[in-house]
Amino acid sequence: MTAPRPAEEILEPDLPIVDPHHHLWDRGPALPPPPADPYSEHGFTRVLRLGPRYLLDELLADTGSGHNVVATVFVECRSMWREDGPPELRPVGETEFVNGVAAMSASGLYGPMRACAGIVGQTDLRQSPETVDAVLKAHIAAGGGRFRGIRQGGAWNADPAVLGPLHGRVPEGMFGTPEFRAGFARMAPNGLSFEAWVLEPQLPDVIALARAFPETSIVLDHVGTPLGVAGYAGRREERFDAWRQNIRALAGCPNVSVKLGGLAMVFCNFPSFLSDPPASSEQLAREWRPYIDECIDAFGVQRCMFESNFPVDLGSCSYATLWNAFKRIAAGCSADEKRALFSGTADRVYRLGLGLG
């Protein structure tokens, strides 16, 4: 059992933060016992045991833990889909659910922070363009003015141990298939952005997609998810240059922005993951800095945004410690650069209208 870490002093507590990537879910208590090996194919089970329920109360506890979080953006996690009705419309239930949470937050009853001010949902873009168009419009209608885009995870690897229970959800090279691209072409006409979650070896797929659809805003999640697990264990530094070259190429696409975070996940396999005692923000900053600094250098602060990826990143640290780590990494930035990285880019990319971009 991981021992709790003494709370750190909050760095720069007045700096406004828009958290552009978190989830809400209720996985219930019926989880199998966590395996001894956190990097087994069921590694996510151990993380979910830390936070099987993450709803508004848990989010507010985190955003209220000392940092000045002014708003958040929800990103799909297959939560609260409709049980009934046409299969293609079942993911709209997630948008309905999250918009209800956003409405609760917007009442002011829970404080000034605006939870889920932007919503990113899910649909299978490989459906017919007509079906995709209908589902996108249903998401927009259900979002109450908050719906901003779609994430259809493209993470794939030939080794099933890399993705564990997520293995096999999508085929290799999905972003390049005619079916996917026909549906993807409906994003821009509906005024929506696309959220790309892939693993580091797949970055060329995102580069090709961005070049083929320069009018569509694409957000790369988790700095492209560097790998250090399964067959990639011990090879993260060896693969850094290839990752960097792809990041540089992707930065050459002006329609792409990048989220700085997700490095606390099992896939990266940093020493901080499930460490006992938990890592300090100083350790996290040391581990994550090479990837985050490279992204900022390549994309510029106007296309970079720090993200929490909570509660998934709870496997490495608390919410407060995570943002302290990001502030340590950004310590040498100017006030304007920090404003972009911590709130302005997210406000602009997700069109939140907070006046921070």
Q: What is the pLDDT of residues 197-216, one digit of tens each?
A: 999 999 999 999 999 999 99
Exposed, middle or buried, 61 (CB in 10 Å: 0-12/13-18/19+)? Answer: exposed
Under the banding of pLDDT at 50, 70 and 90, the label for residue 39 is very low
Are 72 and 117 in contact, with CB atoms under 8 Å apart? yes
Percent of the chain with pLDDT over 90: 86
d(C-alpha 96, C-alpha 81), whole Å: 9
Whether domain 16-349 has CATH 3.20.20.140: the reply is yes
Are 19 and 322 in contact, with CB atoms under 8 Å apart? no
> Would you say residue 3 has pLDDT above 70?
no
Residues paired with residue 208 on neighbouring β-strands, in sequence order:
none
Instruction: Tell me the two tokens of residue 70.
Output: 């002014």
> Would you say residue 38 has pLDDT above 50?
no
Predicted pLDDT of residue 157: 95
Instruction: Tell me the two tokens of residue 166.
Output: 């997520």
Residue listed under structure tokens 């709130």: 343
The C-alpha angle 274, 304, 198, rounded to 5 degrees, equals 55
How many Cα atoms are found within 13 Å in the side-chain-facing hemisphere of 279?
24
Report whether the peptide linkage leading into residue 311 is cis, meaning its omega lies within 30 degrees of zero: yes
- Residue 149 has phi, psi (to 5 degrees) of 180, -175
Average of per-residue pLDDT across 18-42 = 69
Percent of the chain with pLDDT over 70: 92
Are 25 and 314 in contact, with CB atoms under 8 Å apart? no
Instruction: Tell me the two tokens of residue 18.
Output: 């828009």
CA distance readout (Å), 253 to 31, 128, 135, 218, 298: 42, 27, 28, 10, 11
> Nearest Cα to 53, choosing from 27, 83, 32, 77?
27
> Would you say residue 281 has pLDDT above 80?
yes
Residues paired with residue 114 on neighbouring β-strands, in sequence order:
71
What are the residue boundaries of the structural domains of the chain, listed by start?
Answer: 16-349
CA distance readout (Å), 44 to 74, 173, 246: 20, 24, 27
pLDDT digits (tens, 9 = 90+) for 263-273: 999 999 999 99
Predicted pLDDT of residue 2: 46
List, in order, residues 6 or more apart from 182 with CB less than 8 Å away. 128, 129
Q: Mean of the per-residue pLDDT values for the chain?
A: 93
Under the banding of pLDDT at 50, 70 and 90, the label for residue 315 is confident
